[in-house]
Amino acid sequence: MGDPRGMLLSIACTLGGTWAFVTGFRALRTWRVLLDTPTARVRSMAMGMVELCGQVETRSDLRSPFSGRECVWWEVEISTLSGRSRGRQGWSVVHRKTSGQPFYLRDETGVALVYPHGANVKVNFTAEEMTHGLGVPEPYMEYMEQQGLGLRRMWALGAMRFRERVLEAPSRVFVLGRAFPRAMTREVSFSDIELAVTGTDGGARTSVGATRQGERDEDVRGVIRQGSGGETFLIGQRSEAELQLEYGVRAFGGLIAGPLLTLFGLWCALELARTGGWSL
């Protein structure tokens, strides 16, 4: 019988190192884009890859599902405690959801509309709560019911972790994404009376939220969203310099440490094979 611990370690190191090497290249690409794209101003931004800095502003009434905080973007994550070999335990994510509502980004020169769908949002967890089995608090259970999570009652019997990240207005953020021209809208009628005659809801235009939203949309200089082909799309509360450092470390860490880890894994495997420790 071989050494299963050694075999597992060598396999984990070989695969992990190769994975780190591949992801190092992806981080290198993002790092290059961050380095090579100068920060533009909203007023004069050109269509294509842009980097903007500004304050986020709400476009629609949005509240985070767990804490009920007013925000422009949220992400929730539900994990259960899973048992692993040799008594070690770890959290495994069973549900993750992100809001997709667009929000405004304002700098000193104008307003842009950001569609966060598909973005890599760099925001720290703002709320985290753990339960220790036999039920979960009402708001979490309500959320799981709304989402139709079939295994919620079974999960609730064990320990669970609920995490939430929110981006609140008026936070200052850094956005790197593709700019598109804003969609053009045309008024077909200016009169609420005319709309009322047609049976449509003319009064809705004069409600506070609807009016404010329409006015801001007119000021929008462009729309920032994810480009095609998995292009870099970053939204972060950290500064550009911090993001450059993070991606630089990830890139060079992956490209240097990855191969070393793979070599170590292979060396372990070869040593095990030589000493007869690699057998089932």
Partner 1 sequence: MHASEILWTVVIGFVLVGSVGFFLSIYNSLIEMKNNIGRSWANIDVLLKQRHDELPKLVSVCEAYMQHERAVFDKLSEARAALAKAAGVAQRSDAENQITRAIGQFFAVAESYPELKANQSFAALQARISELENAIADRREFYNDTVTLFNTRLEQIPDSWIADGMNLQAAELFKIDESDRKDVAISFKMSA
Binding site for partner 1 (CB under 8 A): 21, 25, 28-29, 32-33, 35-41, 43-44, 46, 48-49, 109, 255, 259, 262-263, 266-267, 270-271, 274
Nearest-approach distance from CB 253 to partner 1, in angstroms: 13
Q: For the purposes of burial, counting CB atoms within 10 Å of the CB of 279, is it exposed (0-12), middle (13-18) or buried (19 or more)? A: exposed
In terms of CB distance, is 109 or 211 closer to partner 1?
A: 109
Burial 187-208 (b: 16+ CB within 10 A, else e): eeeeeeeebeeeeeebeeeeee
Nearest-approach distance from CB 46 to partner 1, in angstroms: 4
Nearest-approach distance from CB 22 to partner 1, in angstroms: 10
In terms of CB distance, is 128 or 271 closer to partner 1?
A: 271
Check if the beta carbon of residue 79 is closer than 8 Å to that of residue 93: yes
In terms of CB distance, is 34 or 167 closer to partner 1?
A: 34
Nearest-approach distance from CB 70 to partner 1, in angstroms: 32
In terms of CB distance, is 45 or 136 closer to partner 1?
A: 45
In terms of CB distance, is 25 or 125 closer to partner 1?
A: 25
Residue type, 208: V
Nearest-approach distance from CB 43 to partner 1, in angstroms: 6
In terms of CB distance, is 123 or 224 closer to partner 1?
A: 224
Nearest-approach distance from CB 179 to partner 1, in angstroms: 11
Strands 159-167 and 127-132: antiparallel
d(CA 234, CA 28): 14
Nearest-approach distance from CB 221 to partner 1, in angstroms: 10
Give one DSSP letter per residue of 116-128, joined into a string: -TT-EEE----EE
Q: Provide the 8-state DSSP code for 202.
A: G
* Whether the bond into 181 is cis, omega within 30 of 0: no
Check if the beta carbon of residue 272 is closer than 8 Å to that of residue 14: no
List CB contacts of 192: < 8 A, sequence separation 6 or more.
202, 203, 205, 206
d(CA 48, CA 227): 9
Check if the beta carbon of residue 221 is closer than 8 Å to that of residue 179: no
Nearest-approach distance from CB 187 to partner 1, in angstroms: 22
